[in-house]
A and B are shown apart, each in its own frame.
Chain A
Amino acid sequence: MAGGAHSGALEELDSRPGRDTIVNALVRRGLIGLSVAFLAALLLAPLAVIFVSAFQSGVQAYLRSFADPDTQAAIRLTLVTAAVVVPVNTVFGLAAAWAIAKFEFRGKSLLITLIDLPIAVSPVISGMLFVLLFGMRGWFGAWLAANGISLVFAIPGIMIATLFVTFPYVARELIPLMQQLGNDEEEAAITLGAGGWMTFFRVTLPKIRWGLLYGVILCNARAMGEFGAVSVVSGHIRGLTNTMPLAIEALYNDYDFTGAFAVASLLTLLAVLTLVLKSLVERTGYRRR
Chain B
Amino acid sequence: MKEGQPTVLPGFGLTLGFTTFFLSAVVLLPLAALVLLAASTPLHQLLDTVASPRALASYRLSFGGALLAACINLVFGFIIAWTLARYEFPARRLMDAMIDMPFALPTAVSGIALTAVFSANGWLGRYLAEIGIHVAYTRFGVILAMTLIGMPFAVRTVQPALLEVQRDLEDAAQTLGAGRFYVFRRVVVPAVLPAILTGFTLAFARALGEYGSVIFISGNLPMKTEITPLLIVIHLEEFDYRGAAALGFVMLAASFVILLAINLLQAWGRERLVRRSA
Contact = CB atoms under 8 A, between A and B. Distances in A.
Interface in A176-213: 183, 186-187, 190-191, 195-196, 199-200
Nearest to B89: A32
A231 B104 CA distance: 19
A121 B233 contact: no
A47 B87 CA distance: 25
Nearest to A217: B104
B106 A125 contact: no
Contacts of A167: 22, 26
B9 A102 contact: yes
Given A32-B87, A99-B15, A133 B33 contact: yes
Contacts of A28: 87
Contact of B76 (A38, A118, A274): A38
Given A227-B211, A267-B106, A99 B30 contact: no
Contacts of B80: 35, 38-39
Contacts of B33: 129, 132-133, 138-139
Which DSSP category, helix, strand, loop or mixed, fits chain B's interface?
Answer: helix
B101 interface: yes
Q: Which range contains the number of A residues in contact with the other chain?
A: 35 or more
A227 B106 contact: yes
A230 B190 CA distance: 42
Interface in B58-78: 76
Contacts of A130: 30
Contacts of B34: 125, 128-129, 132
Contacts of A39: 80, 95, 98-99
B9 A49 contact: no
A9 interface: yes
A26 B271 CA distance: 37
Given A133-B30, A164-B30, A124 B101 contact: no
Contacts of A6: 88
Contact of B109 (A132, A264, A274): A264
B26 A35 contact: no
A121 B239 CA distance: 22
B236 A118 contact: no
Interface string A264-289: 10011001001100110000000000
A252 interface: yes
A232 B34 CA distance: 15
Contacts of A105: 16
A38 B155 CA distance: 13
A114 B23 contact: yes
Nearest to B113: A46
Contact of A92 (B18, B37, B122): B18
B27 interface: yes
Nearest to B245: A132
A53 B211 contact: no
B127 to A, nearest CB: 11
B23 A49 contact: no
A221 interface: yes
B226 interface: no
B105 A268 contact: yes
A77 interface: no
Given A128-B232, A128-B236, A227-B108, A32 B259 contact: no
A84 interface: no
Contacts of A36: 95
Contacts of A32: 83, 87, 89
Contacts of A35: 76, 79-80, 83-84, 95
Interface in A1-57: 1, 6-7, 9-10, 28, 31-32, 34-36, 38-39, 41-47, 49-50, 53
Interface of B: 1, 7-12, 14-16, 18-20, 22-23, 26-31, 33-34, 37, 76, 79-80, 82-84, 87-89, 95, 97-102, 104-110, 112-114, 116-117, 122-124, 144, 147-148, 151, 163, 167, 205, 208-212, 216, 229-230, 232-233, 236, 239, 241, 244-245, 248, 251-252, 255-256, 258-259
Given A6-B88, A42-B148, A271-B109, 17 more contacts: A7-B88, A35-B80, A35-B83, A42-B147, A42-B151, A96-B15, A114-B27, A129-B248, A132-B37, A191-B8, A227-B211, A244-B106, A264-B108, A264-B109, A267-B106, A278-B97, A278-B100
The 4 closest A-B pairs by CB, nearest first: A122-B209, A225-B106, A129-B30, A46-B113
30 contacts: A31-B79, A32-B87, A35-B79, A36-B95, A39-B99, A45-B123, A46-B114, A49-B113, A50-B113, A50-B116, A96-B22, A102-B11, A102-B12, A103-B1, A103-B12, A121-B251, A123-B211, A124-B209, A128-B248, A131-B241, A132-B34, A132-B241, A167-B22, A221-B104, A224-B106, A227-B108, A228-B211, A228-B229, A271-B106, A275-B98
